[in-house]
């Protein structure tokens, strides 16, 4: 069990990649706390899939007071070993037709929200616990850009810079900070695409297929576990070779 006895906090864990990360951590012996707007309908399934308990917290990571309360509650009964900053949104559109609110909402959730959670968790890990792993979920579009996603790309590029800077700030206190950058991953959003569009996406990927949420969860597991004890400040792409 790679995470035996460890406590993990996952933001945006109610569905998709977040849910898959929770199931993976549970199956490796961790106890998991997750936050979202609403409790996942799959919570019972998550608990059956693993050995450790799952605790839900209703929280909006863009509201500072709610983040403070969340981290205080999670850390109240002991340490916190792993943070997975997974919460994120998209609100796509061409930049010349993008209202300010559409830009700011994505930056607020994907970058400012991640900052607020990481600020509180890193303070606990670095100043009190002197150990831990923080994993920020970014995206390949934060490195390569994408048409119609200037707001999303900017938020993820910013989070990459934040990851590297925080890694330098916390390394001497034995806290590792890394990022996972998924490429085209099968999700509720891609399920809406036609088979023809999916096939076109696959042509751009050297491995010839879109990734599965489990591919991302496996990489998160590596960074959460002691297998990556000498890895910090890195961005690991899970993209089938899309960006080389």
H or E stretch covering 36: strand 31-36
> How many whole angstroms separate alpha carbon 33 and alpha carbon 219?
19
Helices (H), 108-229: 114-123, 141-144, 150-170, 188-191, 195-203, 213-224
Q: Which of 144, 121, 135 is nearest to 234 (CA)?
A: 135
Q: Does the active-site annotation cover 152?
A: yes
Q: Which of 61, 56, 52 is nearest to 41 (CA)?
A: 56
Catalytic residue among 34, 152, 201, 222: 152
- Three-point CA angle 192, 196, 200, nearest 5°: 105
Active site residues: 152
């Amino acid at each position: 069990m790679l995470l035996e006895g460890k406590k993990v906090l996952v933001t945006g864990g109610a569905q998709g990649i977040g849910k898959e990360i929770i199931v993976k951590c549970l199956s490796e012996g961790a106890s998991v706390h997750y936050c979202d707007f609403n409790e996942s309908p799959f919570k019972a399934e998550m608990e059956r899939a693993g050995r450790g308990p799952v605790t839900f917290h209703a929280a909006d990571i863009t509201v500072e007071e709610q983040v403070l309360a969340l981290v205080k509650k999670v850390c109240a009964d002991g340490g916190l070993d792993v943070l997975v900053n997974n919460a994120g949104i998209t609100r796509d559109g061409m930049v010349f037709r993008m209202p300010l609110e559409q830009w700011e909402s994505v930056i607020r959730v994907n970058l400012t929200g991640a900052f607020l959670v990481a600020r509180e968790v890193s303070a606990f890990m670095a100043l009190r616990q002197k150990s831990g792993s923080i994993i920020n979920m970014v995206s390949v579009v934060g490195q390569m850009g994408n048409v119609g996603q200037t707001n999303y790309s900017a938020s993820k590029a910013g989070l990459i810079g934040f990851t590297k800077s925080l890694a330098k700030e916390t390394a001497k206190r034995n806290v590792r900070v890394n990022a996972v950058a998924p490429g085209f991953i099968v999700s509720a959003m891609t399920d809406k695409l036609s088979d023809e569009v999916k096939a076109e996406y696959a042509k751009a990927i050297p491995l010839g297929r879109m990734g599965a949420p489990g591919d991302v969860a496996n990489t998160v597991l590596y960074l959460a576990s002691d297998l990556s004890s000498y890895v910090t400040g890195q961005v690991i792409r899970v993209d089938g070779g899309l960006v080389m």
